[in-house]
Every structure is written in C-alpha cells, then in structure tokens.
Amino acid sequence: MAENVCPQCGAPVSPGSLECKFCGEKLVVQNTVYQQPQMQQPQMQQPQIIIQNVGQPVNAPGVNPAWPIKSKVVAGILAIFLGGLGIHKFYLGKPGMGILYIVFSWSLIPAIVGFIEGIIYLCSSDLDFQLKNNVRLQ
C-alpha cells in the first residue's frame, strides 16, 4: 500500500490523522472501498485512504516545510515604510541584518536600500521570494 504524505509539505502522515504534524495543514480523509469482481470468491474489502489538500496550494520543490510562514506583502510594506530601521529583516528572521540597518540608520542608506528591497519583494515571484528568504508563504 502506498505511503500517505501531506499535500502541503510532503512529510509522511500517519493513516487517519486530521492534520500534518510538521506544517499543521488540515487534511481531509476519505475512505473509499473498491468492490471485487463478482466472478472471484468474496474477500474482505480493504479501505483506501485518500488525503486531499484543504485551502493552500502545495509548495514548490525546494521549499523546506520547516521554514517559518511569512507574508510577502507584509515584508514588502515593512521594507518600504520602515526599511531604514531594518524592521523587515527582523520580520523575515534575519536579526543580524536588522541590527546592521539600525546601526547605520543615521546615514539614510538603509532607508534607500529598504525601499528598493520592498519593491523587489512585492515584484518577485512567490517561489523566488520563498527561496531567497527561507520562508513559506501564507
């Protein structure tokens, strides 16, 4: 029998579980029974479990299910408006870069770079954003 996997992150899922223990994706479990042809002797019918994705699309290959879930739009808006303080870097889980932005905020260079990064975040594809920043999208 085939192994059950989470449609969101691809992690193995135990039969009958209602959500993935790795990513928290809610699962729909359906029991379907296949009937045996009438010519053969009657046998016990075995149910097959089918797991369907509820809500979010399946993540692309290369996206680690252990990465935190963040929003591309929130990161872009934080970078545009608060980029001079590096708030978007803290949001994306890069505190070292955030501190560097704060240290040099007096020069206004981080504000310019943050504005440009915000535009790049909002214009980049979902896959590029996820792989570059090591996050999963909401």
pLDDT reported for residue 4: 76
Q: Could you list the pLDDT tens digit for every one of the 138 residues in the chain?
A: 456 777 777 777 777 777 777 777 777 766 555 555 555 555 666 555 555 554 444 456 788 888 899 999 999 999 999 999 999 999 999 999 999 999 999 999 999 999 999 999 999 999 999 999 999 987
Q: How many domains does the chain have?
A: 2
pLDDT reported for residue 20: 78
Is the Cα torsion angle 6, 15, 26, 54 positive or negative in sign? positive
pLDDT reported for residue 2: 52
The answer to whether 135 and 93 have CB atoms below 8 angstroms apart is: yes
Residue 27 in domain: yes
Same-domain pairing of 128 and 89: yes
Same-domain pairing of 99 and 49: no
| 3-class DSSP assignment, residue 100 | helix
Instruction: Taking each helix axis as running N to C, give the angle between helix 109-123 and helix 95-103, from 0 to 180 degrees, rounded to the nearest 10.
Output: 140
How far CA 52 is from CA of 47, 89, 97, in Å, comes to: 16, 35, 39
pLDDT reported for residue 70: 94
Same-domain pairing of 123 and 77: yes
Same-domain pairing of 49 and 105: no
pLDDT reported for residue 23: 74
Residues 6+ apart with CB under 8 A from 137: 69, 70, 71, 72, 126, 129, 130
* pTM, rounded to two decimals: 0.58
- Could you list the residue range(s) of the whole structural domain that residue 12 is in? 1-56
52, with CB counted inside 10 A (0-12, 13-18, 19+), is exposed
